[in-house]
Amino acid sequence: MPLVHIRDGPTLLPHTTPGYTITETLQSSYMLLIVQAADGYALGTACFDDGESIPPTPHRDAQFHVETGQVRIESSGTFGVGPKLLKMQAPSWATSSKGGQTRKHSQSIRRVFIYTHETN
């Protein structure tokens, strides 16, 4: 896996399984990657559409809010998102005993999950 730098505070929504083609990748489920800031908060947005039509087209906007252990997802729009949210993960940071290096340990979130679904 490539090493990347992500600032604290965002939520990212990658696909869980890369496919051989873009179409195959778009059919795989999603993972919500939460990188909490020191105060326990994170925020992110995503816009879903068919990826082919010229706007304006049916779409769905989603907002991800993380507040000290609680995840809230708000959604609006008319586009039906096919792939499901399969898992949520939040990296936690710990100092190892070898030379004081900081190492990432990824953990699945098992906390309060609040989902708000609206259709407008």
Split the chain (120 residues) into runs of 10 and give each run's mean pLDDT: 66 82 84 83 89 87 86 89 80 48 46 44
Tell me how many domains the chain contains. 1
Rounded CA separation 13/44 (Å) = 9
For position 2, what pLDDT does the model report?
53
Where on the phi/psi map is residue 78: left (φ > 0), alpha (ψ -120 to 50), or beta? alpha
Q: Does any domain span residue 68?
A: yes
Q: Does any domain span residue 6?
A: no
Tell me if residue 62 falls in helix, strand or coil.
Answer: strand
User: What is the domain-level CATH number for residue 76?
Assistant: 2.60.40.1180
Task: Please give the structure tokens belonging to residue 100.
Answer: 């004081």
For position 77, what pLDDT does the model report?
92
For position 45, what pLDDT does the model report?
93
Q: Does any domain span residue 1?
A: no
For position 63, what pLDDT does the model report?
92
For position 8, what pLDDT does the model report?
74
Q: Does any domain span residue 97?
A: yes
For residue 15, the enclosing domain spans: 11-117
Q: Does any domain span residue 25?
A: yes
Phi, psi of 24 (to 5 degrees): -65, -40
For position 89, what pLDDT does the model report?
77
